[in-house]
Amino acid sequence: MQDLETLIYEINDFSKSNFGFKVEKSSLKTYSSYNWELFCKKNGFNLASEGIYIPNILRAYVKENTDYFVLNIFHELFGHGLFCEHSLFGKKLCTLDFKEAEQYLYKKSNSGISEYFIEDYEGIAMLFEEKISIFTNTIELFNKKLKHFPNYNSIFEKFKNFEKEYSLKEIFVKFEFL
């Protein structure tokens, strides 16, 4: 696989061409397994997670040397990054500190797709992750990841069904991507 910097650059070009926007402010920090454990313990994050995005600092953190490392970058940096940088809902999350954002995400959603905002937040990220996986020829790995995380699969299916019935553009309109 090509180096990470080149991959991110190419995905940003793909994103701009296909979605009309790209990651501009979000950054990525990767950690070895050992440092991931320290990072999670220090910040009170779930040790079993492989990635996290902090909206108020526009930063994606991803654990290295996992089966889904590259997909986790797609999900955290591009999925959540694009959402937080370019949608009104995401921009709202960026104004909140981490604990406030967590509370906000567990409020009822009015999207018509999901019951709670957290499902909208993850569903959008998974849509971007899927589109980027197709572009990078990692779609089989993406499908394997969905099977590995069945709770995410059910959220993803809601968004795929909505996209099939309406369109990806309609999802962008619904979440007020600018």
Q: Which residue reads 């910097």 in tokens?
A: 5
Q: What range does the domain containing 124 cover?
A: 4-174
Structure tokens at 106: 């567990």
What is the per-residue pLDDT for 67? Answer: 95
Structure tokens at 30: 């990767």
pLDDT digits (tens, 9 = 90+) for 151-175: 889 999 999 999 999 999 999 999 9
Pairing mode of beta strands 51-54, 27-31: unpaired
- CA 95 to the chain's CA centroid: 18
pTM for the predicted model, two decimal places: 0.95
Average pLDDT over residues 50-58: 96
Q: Is 24 helix (H, G, I), strand (E, B) or coil?
A: coil
Q: Say how many domains are in the chain.
A: 1
